[in-house]
Amino acid sequence: MGSTNGTYVNHQRITEAQELKEFDTVNLGRTELKVKRNDSVEVDLSSTKTQMLDMTKELEITSMAFRLEPELRSLLKHRSVIPHYQSIIDITTSEIVGYEVLGRIPEESSLPKNPAELFKIASYLNLSTELSDLFRLEGASIWPTMTGSPLLFLNTHPSEISRIDELEKSLINLRETVPEASIVIEVHERAVPSVAELRRLRHILTDLEMKLAYDDFGVGQTRLVELAKTPPDYLKFDISIIRNIHLAPKSLHQMVLTFVKASHDLGIATLAEGVSQKGERDKCREIGFQYAQGFLFCRPTAGCNL
């Protein structure tokens, strides 16, 4: 406390002991430190090489996150994102019924262009919800200029589901921004902590006249209990299931057919993700999918090109 230059927490000079929280900034003279919680156990000198490599990678990502923090905060402040849109088509008629909004940033930015890497950086800085919210708002903003009142499929970040109150505020703001837009909110199946949380989200969306989509179905833990107890409006089958489905064994076709039929019995529309070949499209039609998206129909494009 007796430093001539002062000790600062979050750029405010402190004069007495202060508890530090994760992501706080501490300045000691010209040295700036970031507080990051380490939830791992104590380092064991007998750790395996794999564990040590994982720790090294974690440190590299953390270092990159703190280095890129000013640019990420600037991007959020100036709303410097360029949403892209991938068409969703009726698999029977090939007509466009909507678009999935995909988050993209300017090419000249030093931030990672891969959305997964970008959100990993944002998560380290506790900014993933702000970034997700920005992508939704900017992506939906052009809806009034679109023809045909298309559906807009907007993504959520897994961290938002555990902060349902904040997500609700974000969605209310979204609805006030585009009151007439036809919106579908996508939730990753592994992001849902419980049936109760999913049910609460469902009520929020219903009140806001928004639909619910279960994304990447079939990856990891397939949540059939949630699917039956709180059916979404749309079920998006993951690309890993759709890729080369026309070449897959009949046992896989039968399994997918069972899920598709069960979904339709529950009143859930089914969508095949990542369709890139005519053979995949034809097999998905045969199985009974209602909608599809993928490079066969359209690559993601910036809004100004729609």
Domains of the chain by start residue, with CATH: 1-39 (no CATH), 69-305 (3.20.20.450)
Q: What is residue 209's predicted lDDT score, i.e. its pLDDT?
A: 97
**pTM score, two decimals?**
0.80
* Extended beta strands in 194-296, E state: 211-217, 234-237, 269-272, 291-292
Burial class of 148 by CB neighbour count within 10 A (0 to 12, 13 to 18, 19+): exposed
* 62 φ, ψ (degrees, to nearest 5): -60, -45
d(CA 102, CA 153): 9
* Helix axis angle, 278-287 to 250-265, nearest 10°: 50
3-state secondary structure of 58: helix
Question: Could you tell me the pLDDT band of residue 13, with boundaries at 50, 70 and 90?
Answer: confident
d(CA 14, CA 208): 44
**Segment among 57-66, 98-107, 118-127, 201-210 with least mean pLDDT:** 57-66
- The predicted-structure confidence for 22-40, as pLDDT tens digits, reads as follows 888 898 877 778 888 776 5
Residues 6+ apart with CB under 8 A from 49: none
Looking up tokens 């530090």, which residue turns up?
Answer: 20
Q: What is residue 170's predicted lDDT score, i.e. its pLDDT?
A: 96
d(CA 201, CA 193): 12
d(CA 164, CA 215): 18
Q: What is residue 226's predicted lDDT score, i.e. its pLDDT?
A: 67
- Given a cut of 60, is residue 59 above it in pLDDT? yes
What average pLDDT does the segment 74-87 reach? Answer: 95
Residues 6+ apart with CB under 8 A from 66: 34, 124, 125
Q: What is the largest CA-CA distance in the chain?
A: 76
- Neighbouring CB atoms inside 10 A of 229's CB total 12
